[in-house]
Amino acid sequence: MKEKSICQNTLLAQPKHFLQHFLVLILSLSSTLPFAHSFDYGDALSKSLLYFEAQRSGHLPYNQRVTWRHHSGLTDGLEQGVDLVGGYYDAGDNVKFGLPMAYTITLLSWGVIEFRDEIAAVDGELRHALEAIKWGTDYFIKAHTHPHVLWAQVGDGYTDHLCWQRPEDMTTSRRAYKLDEENPGTEVAAETAAAMAAASIVFRGTNPQYAQLLLHHAEQLFEFGDKYRGKYDSSIKEVKGYYSSVSGYRDELLWAALWLYKATHNITYFDYAILNAESFGGTTWAIREFSWDVKFAGLQTLAATLPTEGRDKEQKQILQQYRSKAEHYLCANLNKNNFTNAKRTPGGLLYTRRWNNMQYVSNAALLLTVYSNHLRSTDQTLDCQTDSVGPTKILSFVKSQVDYILGSNPMGLSYLVGYGSAYPMRVHHRGASTTSYKDDKVFVGCMQGYHTWFGRHDPNPNVLVGALVGGPDKNDEFRDKRVNFAQTEACTYNTAPLVGIFAKLHELEKGSSSNTIASASLPLLSFI
Ligand SMILES: *[C@@H]1O[C@H](CO)[C@@H](O)[C@H](O)[C@H]1NC(C)=O
Ligand SMILES: *[C@@H]1O[C@H](CO)[C@@H](O)[C@H](O)[C@H]1NC(C)=O
């Protein structure tokens, strides 16, 4: 990781990038030509959903489309006498981490709740999105074996990372870790409650019994997480260094309460979010990061979209405080605060930190897209310190970030693997970088994988379609090497927020292709 940068293309690529944008502007302003530098967001949507099939653990179904994968983790939980087969691997390793898995399902569900029709507009993709969510929630049902017991991890980062093996060949520890009254883990209990509550909204119309079951688990998990409060990485020390909770569990508690309120309309959960708004930091923290760990901006945005009619004066006031913190975050990303704005790369990408920066980009883009929807449906604008921003302008900024992801960037690469003609070929991923189990069932040993597959210069034998990798550094530079995991590793919560966003942009593009004025009116350049 400390290797020197060998990236050399950036300076050459940059003028081309600006020329492309210049051309986009010219073409979109002319009357009849189609939107020139437009991306196929429908294709991106389809690809993003394939990624979740590649990350599946357990017994793969007959209709599995990512066929280079095979069954794996079939004895997960066996040692402890519990069935923990299924769920998702979080990234390029083979551990099942409860916190990011649940967060992934919450984000996927949010995308479907907001953009269900837009997803359904691309043939077959609503079904795939529902399958991606259910693969997670089916697992959470298994993992929640008692009202106050949640199995929150299978395998551990330390032993897993000593080996480079396809999940189909794993010989590493598959020990499972549980949370209970003596070993509490509020972050995971509350995030899993949020995921199941959000998913219950998704399934309400099509599978009401399943939705009811999810709600039942969500309510129990919230009660467990709230009543037995404790940081989960104190109970499961093995998660430290991988998914340690820096922000603690108070953000997850507010987040879960708001999702439960959204799912049940039970005023108890609303009151919880109001009563604890200040003491839990919900209305006091203004943080420019939204992630699997730090959820203040997410819960503030969620609270900001709740209707205010019928609330008393104090409730209205607290909702307004949530809203003002949400808007601070959103305005920072739009570069419209007087002082505290998000950093950007010279190519215009939001930049938070070197390690897996793309997660912050796609997570921010979801909040912006959701809020843009809210503003449009309530006929409002976002009043930032330096400017008032309407829903269309917010979406055009989201589009600039998504277009950067899909190839409109100085490297000329799509950071969504498998999209377009140029994308990362050496994604840091055990399964994708090793020959497919389907083609060669000969066992790949722990160290053998490092020797034979990890260290190779050749591209991965399997394309991890739909994965959003960690992405470029602060100078828009990217080194496509397996060892460079800060940039070439993908995570499920990078892609999850993109599903709904791709669908929304796809709809927008369809609407504007018959009307070039509409695309010209998207102020593409104003943010770059
Ligand atoms: C609302 O939720 C609380 C806490 O789970 C529960 O005790 C109460 O019975 C619920 N109320 C209704 C009307 O369902
Ligand atoms: C931001 O800057 C504008 C223009 O200089 C000023 O009018 C406004 O009061 C400032 N707002 C804050 C919150 O600092």
What CA–CA distance (Å, rounded) separates 53 from 58? 11
pLDDT at residue 358, rounded to an integer: 98
- 527 is a domain residue: no
In the reported structure, the alpha carbon of residue 336 is separated from the centroid of ligand 2 by a whole-number distance in angstroms of 11
What CA–CA distance (Å, rounded) separates 159 from 166? 14
Residue nearest to atom 14 of ligand 2 (CA): 338
In the reported structure, the alpha carbon of residue 261 is separated from the centroid of ligand 1 by a whole-number distance in angstroms of 10
- 528 is a domain residue: no
* Contacts (Cβ under 8 Å, ≥6 apart) of 190: 221, 222, 225, 226, 249, 252, 253, 255, 256
- 1 is a domain residue: no
Report DSSP letters for 392-403, one per residue. HHHHHHHHHHHH
328 catalytic per annotation = no
Which residues lie with the beta carbon below 6 Å from any ligand 2 atom? 338, 385
- 122 is a domain residue: yes
Number of domains composing the chain: 1
Does the structure show a pLDDT above 70 at 4? no
pLDDT at residue 528, rounded to an integer: 30
Residue nearest to atom 5 of ligand 1 (CA): 219
Mean pLDDT for the chain? Answer: 91
Q: Which two tokens stand for residue 118?
A: 């837009």
pLDDT at residue 355, rounded to an integer: 96
Least confident of 35-39, 91-95, 152-156, 290-294: 35-39
Residue nearest to atom 7 of ligand 1 (CA): 268
- 317 is a domain residue: yes
Residue 47's identity, in one-letter code, is: K
251-256: average pLDDT = 98
418-422: average pLDDT = 97
pLDDT at residue 511, rounded to an integer: 81
What CA–CA distance (Å, rounded) separates 398 from 364? 9
CB 268 less than 6 A from any atom of ligand 1: yes
- 300 is a domain residue: yes
CA 287 to chain centre: 18
Least confident of 147-151, 312-316, 461-465, 509-513: 509-513
Q: What's the angle, vertex CA 125, arms to CA 115 and CA 111, rounded to 5?
A: 25
What CA–CA distance (Å, rounded) separates 67 from 162? 26
238-265: average pLDDT = 97
Residue nearest to atom 14 of ligand 1 (CA): 266
Ligand (nearest to CA of 197) = 1
**Which residue, chain included where needed, has tokens 């899993």?**
192
Closest CA to 429 of 241, 244, 167: 167
Atom of ligand 2 nearest to the CA of 338: 1
What CA–CA distance (Å, rounded) separates 201 from 207? 10
| pTM for the predicted model, two decimal places | 0.91
- 79 is a domain residue: yes
- 454 is a domain residue: yes
In the reported structure, the alpha carbon of residue 17 is separated from the centroid of ligand 2 by a whole-number distance in angstroms of 34
Q: Which two tokens stand for residue 235?
A: 């109970």
What CA–CA distance (Å, rounded) separates 397 from 334? 7
Residue 88 is part of a domain; what is its CATH number? 1.50.10.10
Containing domain of residue 442, as a range? 6-520
pLDDT in tens, 360-407: 999 999 999 999 999 999 999 999 999 999 999 999 999 999 999 999
